[in-house]
Amino acid sequence: MSIEYITRPDAYDKIVGLECDYLVIAGGAGGGGQNGGGGGAGGYLSTLAPTVETSDVTDFKLTLAPGSYSVTVGAGGAGGAGNTPGTNGQDSKIDSILAFGGGGGGANTNELNGVDGGSGGGGSGNSGTGATGFIRQGNDGGASSGSGYAGGGGGAGEDGYDNSGAQGGDGGDGLQNSITGTATYYAGGGGGVGNSGTESTGGLGGGGNGATGAANGSNGTDGTGGGGGGGGYGSTSYAGGNGGSGIVVIRYLGAQQATGGTVTSSGGYTIHTFTNSGTFTVNADAYKPRVTVGEEGTGSGGTEVTSGGYKYHTFTASGTFTADTSGLFEVLVVAGGGAGGYRDAGLAANFGGGGAGGAINDTIYLSAGSHAVVVGGGCAIDNTPNGGHSSVGTYLTSFGGGRGAGYQTGTPVSPEVAISLSGYNGGSGGGAFSSSSYYHSVGIGIDNQGNDGGYGYTNSGNSTYGGGGGGGAGAVGGVGTTSVGGDGGDGIYLPTWATATSTGDSGYYAGGGGGARYAGSAGTGGAGGGGKGDDRASGSNPTSGTANTGGGGGGSYSSLDPGAGGSGIVIIRYQV
């Protein structure tokens, strides 16, 4: 049997680690030697707009768990000497973010075309073709249309330029980025050589200028990933410029939570800048706060209490939580428990205990403002299949517990429709009933919220054995036997939350209801407010789940009223 419910949104997933913006620039390439094309800029990757070939989103932020990470800063490639192309720049990397080195500029007759890379190298001044830049990291190099004037290297922001008459093509501009707190251009392409006129210019972002006539190309600027300028019209003694080294910058919001690189701060961010390879180490207690949360008075609503360094907001009925500051909040969201199973006519049996309400203990992000809090009611003693759902805003919903298996008027008693006699699905599933011959199934619990109900005892010719216990948030429901009803599954244990807020059942929440066992021992309710099953021959009727625990109700024998489900609860806390 399967059950489908709404998929939980990512908004409330707990993310352990430090959420970072990054700028990763690879080393720029060297310009080509004799009649050299401009070197391509190093590959450019960043979470901050603009990005290369921006579609509709920037790159995803990087979340780094506590630990150490190698940071590689790529060196610039050497300029071509004599009739040789420029050398590609070296790659830069942190974790899964890898930027490719720029592509070298072409030379006179030895590899006259540019070389592919982060951004492509320019074609040599011998009708060389510009090379291809890596998608989403750079752009293509420019081409040459004749002898003695080369194409410029590609930049992060645009392609390198073709030559213009006897003047070499300019390098493509890079992109401007403010991750360090200062708007700076990075990853400009190197200019191509020309045989007369004004020298070509390197692109914004550290690109070196191309030579004019008998001269060397200019170097790209270190720390920008700029490409070197092409050099050496005519004589083989003139070299291309070297590419500039790359850079890696990491920033995160708030106070320093990591080490490595040169550490600065700007605009509320801590910034780690690497101009050489090194190690970035995230502190063991670092988490994902994109904003500061936890100062006294950041939220209001419910019953408020401060204990053990946390402020708690407890909702035993629906209401509103107001977040004064956007950020992360820890939450406990428990739905209403399911009622125990019973009959209103016909079949006599020991029916199953009610499943506990779904329980979620997690961390969610809430923006500043008001958020509706819904506390689900317990399942009533009627034909309602589930307890009420509980939720916080639109971010998080726990589902009501399933009612225990029972029999209502009009339900055909036959194997073909025996699903009607099964425990109901829910946050935790309801327990099955005992049967002399009919197939019976347990209710199914929802992953990460609860567990399945327990089976009742089945034996041909005898329907008086124990019904199954309802599932709890921490354990499946117990199985009925010949002498006892199945115990309700235990709930989740959160003693700190329970003690601080004076809620729960000895530190537990969301326990399942016990299964019935007439003329024997009924199943006990699971820790977390689960009700006890029916063993009225011993003078004990079924009991209801405890209010504001999400406990399931105890199952009934025959037509006696079962236990109702206990109502849910929502608790929100943050550090103070």
- Reply yes or no on whether the pLDDT at 281 is more than 70: yes
Long-range contacts of 251-257 (CB under 8 A, 24+ apart): 251/20, 251/21, 251/22, 251/179, 251/180, 252/18, 252/19, 252/20, 252/21, 253/289, 253/290, 253/291, 253/292, 254/289, 254/292, 257/18, 257/282, 257/283, 257/285, 257/286
Nearest alpha-carbon partner for 299 in 328, 256, 278, 267:
328
360 compared with 558, residue with greater pLDDT: 360
Q: Return the H-helix or E-strand segment holding 495.
A: helix 495-501
pLDDT score recorded for residue 49: 72
Average pLDDT over residues 511-532: 92
Give pLDDT tens digits for 425-476: 899 999 988 865 554 678 889 888 999 999 887 764 445 688 899 999 999 9
- Reply yes or no on whether the pLDDT at 6 is more than 60: no
- Reply yes or no on whether the pLDDT at 294 is more than 50: no
CB 550 within 8 A of CB 291: no
**Alpha helices of 281-384 — where are they, by DSSP H?**
none
pLDDT class of 331 with cuts at 50, 70, 90: very high
Nearest alpha-carbon partner for 41 in 124, 140, 155, 135:
155
Average pLDDT over residues 94-121: 92
pLDDT score recorded for residue 245: 98
CA pair distance 219, 210, nearest whole angstrom: 9
Average pLDDT over residues 484-499: 94
Average pLDDT over residues 390-418: 69
540 compared with 370, residue with greater pLDDT: 370
Burial classification of residue 471, based on how many CB atoms lie within 10 Å of its CB (0-12 exposed, 13-18 middle, 19 or more buried): buried
pLDDT score recorded for residue 7: 32
Residue that has been written with the tokens 């070509």 in this structure: 200
CA pair distance 97, 79, nearest whole angstrom: 27
- Reply yes or no on whether the pLDDT at 416 is more than 50: no
Residue that has been written with the tokens 């390198």 in this structure: 160
576 compared with 533, residue with greater pLDDT: 533
Pick the range with the lowest mean pLDDT from 1-5, 345-349, 443-447: 1-5
- How many whole angstroms from its chain centre is CA 209? 44
> Phi, psi at residue 464, to the nearest 5°?
-100, 10
- Reply yes or no on whether the pLDDT at 349 is more than 90: no
Neighbours of 469 (CB within 10 A): 48
CB 173 within 8 A of CB 204: yes
Beta strands in 473-554 (DSSP E): 492-493, 508-509
Residue type, 154: G
pLDDT score recorded for residue 328: 82
Q: Return the H-helix or E-strand segment holding 467.
A: none
- Reply yes or no on whether the pLDDT at 409 is more than 60: no
Average pLDDT over residues 497-526: 93
- Which sequence spans correspond to the domains of the chain? 23-249, 250-281, 294-576
Over pLDDT 70: what percentage of the chain? Answer: 87
- Reply yes or no on whether the pLDDT at 363 is more than 70: yes
In order of 311, 397, 568, the CA distances from 302 in angstroms are 12, 18, 14
pLDDT score recorded for residue 15: 43
Give pLDDT tens digits for 22-66: 999 999 999 999 889 999 999 999 988 776 754 333 456 788 888
pLDDT score recorded for residue 558: 72
pLDDT class of 491 with cuts at 50, 70, 90: very high
pLDDT score recorded for residue 447: 83
Give pLDDT tens digits for 68-88: 999 999 999 999 988 899 999
Average pLDDT over residues 304-326: 92
413 compared with 392, residue with greater pLDDT: 392
pLDDT score recorded for residue 210: 94
Mean pLDDT of the chain, nearest integer: 86
pLDDT class of 410 with cuts at 50, 70, 90: very low
Q: What is the DSSP string of 59-95?
A: PPPEEE-SEEEEEE-PPPPPPP-SS-PPPPPPPEEET
24 compared with 1, residue with greater pLDDT: 24
Q: Does pTM surpass 0.75?
A: no
